[in-house]
Structure 1
Amino acid sequence: NRKWVYRFLQRHPGLKLGRPSGLDPKRAQAFNRPVVKDHFRQLENLIKSFNIPWSHVYNMDEKGIQRGGGRRLQNIKYFVPRGRRTSYKLRSASLELVTIIECVCADGSNIMPGFIFSGKEFMRDWFQNVDCNVTIAHSPNGWTDDFLCLEWFRKCFIPQATARRETDAPILLILDGHGSHVTSEMRHLAMDHNIHLFCLPPHTTHRLQPLDVGVFGPLQQAWTKRCNEYYVTSRGREMDRGELIREYL
């Protein structure tokens, strides 16, 4: 009798049924108390040593979205008449992956993101009326590489973070240790502009990366919702790349 499970849950309201997420063994081994304690000790010492205000502390990471909203749109349910056998809804067939480089500040604000589209070239006409602080690039697969990450850092992060500087204290950028994030060119550029690059411990971003932990989940839900609204109001018209940026922002 499986009813005992639900009776047990009624007696213990602090518990619920749930499915665990898969975890890579490397992440399981790397995320431990000594590593986490040492990470926050180094971060605290750095902030205190240079008297860095929270308005100078940033976190960057990459997020992939699909131009048509992705398969998550299929999970949205609606009320429909019981007697109707088949229900249809307009949605996009595009599964194009777009990489977004997001960067948030510890004070709750953010700088304008960077967008990386797949393909070998694109037309400037697509991106008319797009905020000039947005960085737009392309790569064969829509992913970042050393050059694109460096260009985002040079043309997007440095100008915006510098313009928001409140004191002479350094700017602190927290990021994972991906190869494209810590190139020698990027380190030299950071030193030239009084920016400290602080890498997260390897294989711990699922718990220590602020964007992964608290931002990208709600962001994905909001994007899926916005795509759903777009294809209803546009009567199924595909979202071009310029519209994607405007809708995302």
Structure 2
Amino acid sequence: MSLVSKQTLEYKKILCRKGSRNPHKVVGSVTKSTYTVLVCCNAIGDYPPLHVNYKGLHLYSNWCQNVPEDAVYNCSPSGWMESSQFANWLENVFIKHTTKLEGPKLLIFDGHNSHLTIPLIEMACANNIELFCLPAHISHALQSLDVGVFKSVKNAWCNVLKDYYCDTGCKNVDKITFPSLLKKTQGNWMFL
């Protein structure tokens, strides 16, 4: 016996190509932009500033306007977090945000190969930071933040994105628009 009544289910018809991946998702177009947002929090729910990484060779000032408070911006050729961007985050966000805390700090992160470099380890040691590296590609199973905290972040982002698509007729989220949407998302996180 089903616990869900037919009235609570919402059915929608869509047209898509046969074999389309995720046909239920609304997207602006087939062109993609890569934005990486590094979000970190501590055990009591404090968030240091966000670190946004754009795909590009140069960071332009109009990509960093109407932004979440104290956010740090960077870019990489791939748009993904690479070793120099992660080191930039450690130095300019994590260390600055945790310097007032006494004693050693523990930083738990996934074990992507871009995260661990000798200079990064030296920087962590110099600032009394213990690095705890989870095995690569299984953080979704081991990292409680993915389920407990980031679920609300992802839900907030999906809601802001749906509203944006409704308002703009599914216009793509470009680098100039992205910070303002991220700012709206940040305001809806449950743990802030």
Q: TM-score, normalised by structure 2?
A: 0.72
Query: Partners in 1 of 2:49 and 2:149 — Cα distance?
Result: 15
CA deviation digits over 1:38-80, x for unaligned, max 9?
xxxxxxxxxxxxxxxxxxxxxxxxxxxxxxxxx879447xxxx
More helix by proportion, 1 or 2? Answer: 1
DSSP 3-state at the match of 2:87: helix
- Look up the equivalent residue of 2:28 and give its one-letter code: S
Compared CA separation, residues 138 and 103, structure 1 to 2 (3 A) = same
Query: Partners in 2 of 1:175 and 1:126 — Cα distance?
Result: 27
Counterparts of residues 236-247 of structure 1 (less than 5 Å): 238-247=172-181
Supply the RMSD in Å over aligned alpha carbons.
Answer: 2.7
Higher alpha-carbon Rg: 1
- Cα offset, 1:106, TM superposition: 0.9
Match among 75, 82, 85 for residue 138 of structure 1 = 75
- Cα offset, 1:128, TM superposition: 2.6
For structure 2, the 5+ residue unaligned runs are: 4-20, 184-192
Compared CA separation, residues 225 and 72, structure 1 to 2 (3 A) = farther
Instruction: Report the number of matched residues.
Output: 165
Query: Partners in 2 of 1:203 and 1:142 — Cα distance?
Result: 18
CA contact (8 A) 2:111 2:135 kept: yes
CA contact (8 A) 1:133 1:156 kept: no
CA deviation digits over 1:178-217, x for unaligned, max 9?
2222211111111111111112245542321122232333
- 1:125 matched to which residue of 2? 62
CA contact (8 A) 1:177 1:200 kept: yes
What's the % identity of the aligned pairs? Answer: 31
For structure 1, the 5+ residue unaligned runs are: 1-5, 11-70, 77-90
Q: TM-score, normalised by structure 1?
A: 0.57
- 2:123 matched to which residue of 1? 189
Counterparts of residues 54-203 of structure 1 (less than 5 Å): 74-75=24-25, 92-93=28-29, 94-131=31-68, 133-163=70-100, 165=101, 168-201=102-135
- 1:79 matched to which residue of 2? none
